[in-house]
Amino acid sequence: EDLLDSVFELVDWVADIQTTSSAGALLSPSVARTKDVLKFTDRFMLKSRNTLTAYDASEGALYVLFCAILCLSPQSPKVFAIDNLDQALNPRLVGRLTSKLSSWLQRSSAQRQLLFTAHNPAVLDGLNLADPEIRLFAVERNSDGHTVVRRIELNAELQRLHTSYPLSRLWLMGNLGAVPNV
């Protein structure tokens, strides 16, 4: 129950999520569907009209649910990757999702590793670099066009800067690298 609550914290309009095999009243007959359809209960809408399917839910809500299932499902692979984690999410939500990912993975019974890419600086604010399980890498090209991967470690200088600025700001200021000179 508390795991579901941790997902609902990120999608605050959702009061409940279920699956249904009878979405006839909720979906047009012309909409292709699987045997089971996700059904959301919106806590802010009128009770007579507060049931939505995944077809009607926001892309961000579906993405958060996808990430949660990927981290928590026993059937998920031991190592998986998400390209552009920040896609379809507002900047404040993406930072919170990033922090939830690590807690969801740690709660999972299996040892799993998640690799993700992102371009939104707000993603960084959800990372706890003091946690030895969390790693941050800067990926960029050198002057010869070769890809260079460098681990960003929470050293004394970065800790000092981090007391004044969030990681997102430090990245934009160029303190973490991987910012093109455009």
pLDDT at 167 over 90: yes
**pLDDT band at residue 1, thresholds of 50, 70 and 90?**
low
C-alpha span between 43 and 36 (Å, rounded): 22
Q: Assess whether 23 and 87 both reside in one domain.
A: no
Mean pLDDT score across all residues of the chain: 89
Q: Assess whether 79 and 39 both reside in one domain.
A: no
Q: Assess whether 63 and 125 both reside in one domain.
A: yes
> Is pLDDT larger for residue 127 or for residue 36?
127
Q: Assess whether 75 and 156 both reside in one domain.
A: yes
Which residue among 57, 75, 93 closes a domain?
57
Ranking 37-51, 107-121, 148-162 by mean pLDDT, the lowest is 107-121
What is the pLDDT, as a whole number, of residue 106?
Answer: 86
Q: Assess whether 5 and 38 both reside in one domain.
A: yes
Average pLDDT over residues 2-30: 82
In SS3 terms, the chain reads as CHHHHHHHCCCCCEEEEEEECCCCCCCCCCCCCCCCEEEEEECCCCHHHCEEECCCCCHHHHHHHHHHHHHHCCCCCCEEEECCCCCCCCHHHHHHHHHHHHHHHHHCCCCCEEEECCCCHHHHHHCCCCCCCCCEEEEEECCCCCEEEEEECCCHHHHHHHCCCCHHHHHHCCCCCCCCCC
pLDDT at 141 over 80: yes
Which residue among 35, 57, 79 closes a domain?
57
pLDDT at 56 over 90: no
C-alpha span between 140 and 175 (Å, rounded): 14
**How many domains, the chain?**
2
Q: Assess whether 75 and 51 both reside in one domain.
A: no
Q: Assess whether 41 and 78 both reside in one domain.
A: no
CATH number of the domain encompassing residue 118: 3.40.50
Q: Assess whether 49 and 99 both reside in one domain.
A: no
What is the pLDDT, as a whole number, of residue 168?
Answer: 95
**pLDDT band at residue 182, thresholds of 50, 70 and 90?**
confident
Average pLDDT over residues 4-16: 92
Q: Assess whether 6 and 24 both reside in one domain.
A: yes
What is the pLDDT, as a whole number, of residue 110?
Answer: 67
Q: Assess whether 120 and 158 both reside in one domain.
A: yes
- Determine the structural domain holding residue 128 and report its residue range: 58-182
Q: Assess whether 40 and 82 both reside in one domain.
A: no
